[in-house]
Chain A
Amino acid sequence: MLPFYQNIPFFSILLSMVGGVITSLICSPRWAARLHLGILALCCAANGYLAWVLFHTGESFTYMLGHYPAPWGNELRAGPLEAMLCSLFALVMFLCVLGGLEDIQHDILPKKLPLYYLMLNLLWSSMLVMVYTNDLFTAYVFIEINTIASCAIVMAKDTGHTNMATIRYIIMSQLGSGLFLLALALLYGITGQLLFPSLRQAIEVLDTTGNYALPLTVLTGLMVLGLAIKSALYPFHAWLPGAHGNATTASSAILSGLVLKGYIVLLIKILYQVYTLPVARKTHIFDVLFVLAVIAMFMGSWYAMKENHLKRMIAYSSVAQVGYIFLGIGMGTAAGMTAAVFQIMAHAFTKPLLFVSAGELIRVSGHHKQLYYLRGAAHRAPLAGVGFTMGGLSMIGLPLLGGFVTKLFLAQASLELGWQNLLAFGVLVASSVLNALYYLPVILLIWTHGNPLKEELDSGARTAPCRSKPVVFDLPMPPAFAASALCLMAGVVFLGVFFNPVSVLIHQGLALL
């Protein structure tokens, strides 16, 4: 018998998949939500325990799925980093759903609500598998689940905007999956393996003998390209603002806080376990990612600066923040990877905080997302105002908040580099200034007194959309939102203050990948 904790990854995956299947029989939205939140809480606790055990013993293990050993059967692999990320993702997803509960009920038809939670359950299971997998084909199958489920949670809102955004999203996302599958087929053709460790051996042999050099380079490019499209690296970001900006609050928060990160974690795993850093460096894939990341950090902020729609602005800011992650990966060093993983964690707290707070600010402004109507929103919902302010300041890089530490780590990591050093420094500074240029005015705006929609309604310049239901501004704060925003804020501050132990853990975990 294995020690008990080694069964945790598989049973977390199974629990969330079976939970998704069971949800199809539940008619009550309330119970579907409870089941989903329960599964997430359980996964968070179990994976947290697993991470704790693995950090203490300093080991990583493989888990055989079935009676056949690895290259023949399927396999999962768990190390401390994977367990920690899963536990953290479960926590963030729990908080996203909790914080967006009010909007979910407002935006989605009651009879489709259980289906929405079904999608979330399966989305969560696919996130788990993408982090824990040790097999490229299993990764592909669950990338498909992830793609479909994330498109479904965007279109669940069922308005013209979300349907258009979903069409865009599904086309781009399927292109990404297709490129990944193409790369997988090529890789199988030249190595005959699908399992990460076997692939690593085969690629080492190819690297030393120099056989199949062209296919190897091309497929590396295709694989990274596929995953980059799915995680919205700059030139492939076109689907992101629509999908993240128009979906319901919880979907936006989950998509930009977690779903983008799932693919990046998979990419890091592939780079570490299949290619190993020195071999990957020879294909120059890191240089390409570095350059694209630099452009992403500029262009994401540039687009965000021109946006007058609050959620789209936050979505464009995700493009810039994904650029930070790829900047760390593109350095191609262990320090860069640590910074990238730290940014994955910091952004996983900050962006949901921004989206959840923005959802609440929008709710108390008569569901208007245009910045003009958000004047004074923070006075109508003070906690959401504080949350948005804190998230924005973290993005700008105020010390004691998560975003600052990312920039610090990225700057430190860039000291080891050659020609990229000055470029990385410059772009970090410029990006901070750009972030400040679009977050600060909005923070000032929501704290300014006034209520444009109310003024318009009172003066008669505009009539309420529905006569029978007057627009209410002094809505009570939902307790679920309060709990979620407080926890997310605590997370951002925690990462900003106790960054040293966290980075040590990340470093240990990466060494065991």
Chain B
Amino acid sequence: MSAKELWGRFAAWVNGEAAPAARFEKDYRPHLPSPRRRRQEEDSTGHAKTHEVLLYRVSTVLASVALIGILLATVTQLPLHGTPGTPDQNEVALRYVEKGLEETGAVNLVSGMILDYRAFDTFGESCVLFLTAMSVFVLLWNDKHSLPPKLEAERKEDDQILAEEEMHLLRHAAHFLTPFILLFGIYVVINGHLSPGGGFSGGIIIGSGLIFYATACGQKAVSRFFDRKAFYILNFICLAIYAGAKSYSFFLGANHLENPIPKGIPGAILSGGMILPLNICVGIVVACTMYAFYALFNKGDF
């Protein structure tokens, strides 16, 4: 805009005939020319666009190469993993290894660490899972009444295909295998304080078992025993138990009071204080989240 035009606009504005700035006009475009004009530019020259894309590509590559270089240079300076005397072999790790069994009662030190020493972080992690499932609800939970007709027709067709298709092998395998998968998952969760595994890994196994069953026999079969209400209630109960149990122990610990929960004999199934119930809670939250992802991305509801 030339100086004369600017002055003209200013005068018009003072007289009450125009808005004070161009961006108050109705058809003002802030960023780029309108899509139609942009397409014309592409058609006529074709150069401006490719220039821009090329610039982006080159600068992306340069930035990535620079970052890779810096990080590689850093890695060469880091202490070698596994050699004696590295900074991470300090009093923190020493106490976990030496006193972990005695203090937490868990044979699986990892469980002891994540569910007893640093239980607050794990509570945060379980909340991350719960929150993620809930955000997927926010995004994908569809309104049965407002579903676009095309999508609804597609879904009906899918259901029909699933009902008509015989899939003997898959269904028999699912009927046969699912109980074992779930059982194995439950084993991994319950033995979390004794052997490798725990709530996170066991929960994933249970969740994938449910997904397997839902894929083979349809989501309706799963929703007979696990629907949205069950999902909410299970999640609520588990997180509430976790929060309750841990806030009790945090409160006692912070106020320097004795922990009345017995540790039990290390190695027995009922040992490790609160680790077993907490593992079960985490396992259920993880399994629910896994299945909720599948159900929501597949049907938008369950």
The interface of chain A, by Cβ under 8 A from chain B, is 1-2, 6-7, 10-11, 14, 17-18, 20-22, 24-25, 63-68, 71-74, 109, 111-112, 115-116, 118-119, 122, 125, 129, 137-138, 141-142, 144-145, 148-149, 151-152, 155-156, 158, 182, 186, 188-193, 202, 212, 214-215, 218-219, 305-309, 370-372, 375, 441, 444-445, 452
Contact (Cβ within 8 A) B25 A372: yes
* Cβ contacts A to B, 21 pairs, < 8 Å: A14-B243, A17-B123, A21-B240, A66-B120, A68-B253, A112-B137, A115-B134, A116-B138, A119-B138, A141-B124, A145-B124, A152-B135, A156-B138, A215-B74, A218-B71, A219-B74, A306-B30, A308-B25, A308-B30, A372-B19, A372-B24
The minimal Cβ–Cβ distance linking B238 to chain A, given in whole angstroms, is 9
Bound together, the chains give a CA A67 to CA B119 distance in angstroms of: 11
The minimal Cβ–Cβ distance linking A118 to chain B, given in whole angstroms, is 6
Question: Digit string of B23-43 for contact with A (CB within 8 Å is 1, else 0)?
Answer: 111101011000000000000
Set B96, B143, B256: member contacting A72, Cβ < 8 A: B96
Q: A141-B128, A144-B124 are in contact. List 16 more A-B contacts (CB 8 A).
A: A1-B256, A10-B254, A18-B243, A21-B240, A22-B236, A74-B118, A74-B121, A112-B141, A115-B137, A145-B128, A190-B78, A193-B90, A371-B24, A372-B24, A372-B25, A452-B26
Contact (Cβ within 8 A) B232 A308: no
Set A65, A202, A441, A444: member contacting B254, Cβ < 8 A: A65
Bound together, the chains give a CA A20 to CA B86 distance in angstroms of: 42
Contacts of A191 in B (CB 8 A): 87-88
Bound together, the chains give a CA A52 to CA B50 distance in angstroms of: 61
Interface size grouping (class) on chain B: 35 or more
Contacts of A182 in B (CB 8 A): 71
Contact (Cβ within 8 A) A138 B124: yes
User: Given contacts A25-B236, A129-B124, are A66 and B249 in contact (CB under 8 A)?
Assistant: yes
Contact (Cβ within 8 A) B254 A2: yes
The minimal Cβ–Cβ distance linking B66 to chain A, given in whole angstroms, is 12
Query: Which of the listed residues B134, B233, B236, B247 has the most CB atoms from chain A within 10 Å of its own CB?
Result: B134
Q: At the interface, yes or no: B225 with Cβ under 8 Å from chain A?
A: no
Q: At the interface, yes or no: B259 with Cβ under 8 Å from chain A?
A: yes
Contact (Cβ within 8 A) B20 A148: no
Set B89, B141, B254: member contacting A63, Cβ < 8 A: B254
User: Given contacts A212-B77, A214-B73, are A73 and B243 in contact (CB under 8 A)?
Assistant: no
Contact (Cβ within 8 A) A308 B23: yes
Query: Which of the listed residues B96, B138, B243, B247 has the most CB atoms from chain A within 10 Å of its own CB?
Result: B138
The minimal Cβ–Cβ distance linking A488 to chain B, given in whole angstroms, is 26
The minimal Cβ–Cβ distance linking A440 to chain B, given in whole angstroms, is 9
Contacts of A445 in B (CB 8 A): 19-20, 24
Q: At the interface, yes or no: B251 with Cβ under 8 Å from chain A?
A: yes
Contacts of A109 in B (CB 8 A): 143
Contacts of A21 in B (CB 8 A): 127, 130, 235-236, 239-240, 243
User: Given contacts A24-B232, A141-B121, A215-B77, are A67 and B252 in contact (CB under 8 A)?
Assistant: yes
Of all chain A residues, the one with the shortest Cβ separation from B252 is: A67
Contact (Cβ within 8 A) B30 A14: no
Q: At the interface, yes or no: B92 with Cβ under 8 Å from chain A?
A: yes
- Nearest 10 A-B pairs (CB), nearest first? A192-B88, A141-B124, A152-B135, A67-B253, A74-B120, A308-B23, A192-B87, A441-B20, A66-B253, A372-B26
Q: At the interface, yes or no: B302 with Cβ under 8 Å from chain A?
A: no
Q: At the interface, yes or no: B3 with Cβ under 8 Å from chain A?
A: no
The minimal Cβ–Cβ distance linking A358 to chain B, given in whole angstroms, is 15
Contacts of B28 in A (CB 8 A): 308, 372
Of all chain B residues, the one with the shortest Cβ separation from A108 is: B138
Bound together, the chains give a CA A196 to CA B160 distance in angstroms of: 59
Find residues 224-256 in chain B having any chain A CB closer than 8 Å to their own CB: 232-233, 235-236, 239-240, 243, 246-247, 249-256
Contacts of A186 in B (CB 8 A): 74, 78
Q: At the interface, yes or no: B93 with Cβ under 8 Å from chain A?
A: yes
Find residues 87-144 in chain B having any chain A CB closer than 8 Å to their own CB: 87-93, 95-96, 103, 116-121, 123-125, 127-128, 130-132, 134-135, 137-139, 141, 143
The minimal Cβ–Cβ distance linking A207 to chain B, given in whole angstroms, is 14
Query: Which of the listed residues A63, A73, A112, A307 has the most CB atoms from chain B within 10 Å of its own CB?
Result: A73
